[in-house]
Amino acid sequence: MKRSEMEANLFCIHCNDETPHMIIYINNEITKIECEDCRHIVELKVDIMKEFYKEIYERVSTKPSRITQEYKKDLNMFLSRLPIRVVSKPYRLIRELKESRKVIRQYRKR
**pTM, 2 dp:** 0.68
Band (pLDDT 50/70/90 cuts) for residue 107 is confident
- The amino acid occupying position 80 is S
CA distance 51 to 59: 12
24-81 per-position pLDDT tens digit: 998 888 999 999 999 999 998 888 888 889 988 998 999 999 999 999 999 999 999 9
Domain boundaries, the chain: 3-109
Distance from first CA to last CA of the chain, Å, rounded? 17
Alpha-carbon separation of residue 94 from 4, 36, 59, 98 (angstroms): 20, 35, 15, 6
**Mean pLDDT across the stretch 97-104?**
90
pLDDT at 3 over 90: no
Q: What is the pLDDT of residue 68?
A: 94
Q: What is the pLDDT of residue 47?
A: 87
pLDDT at 110 over 70: no
CA distance 57 to 7: 30
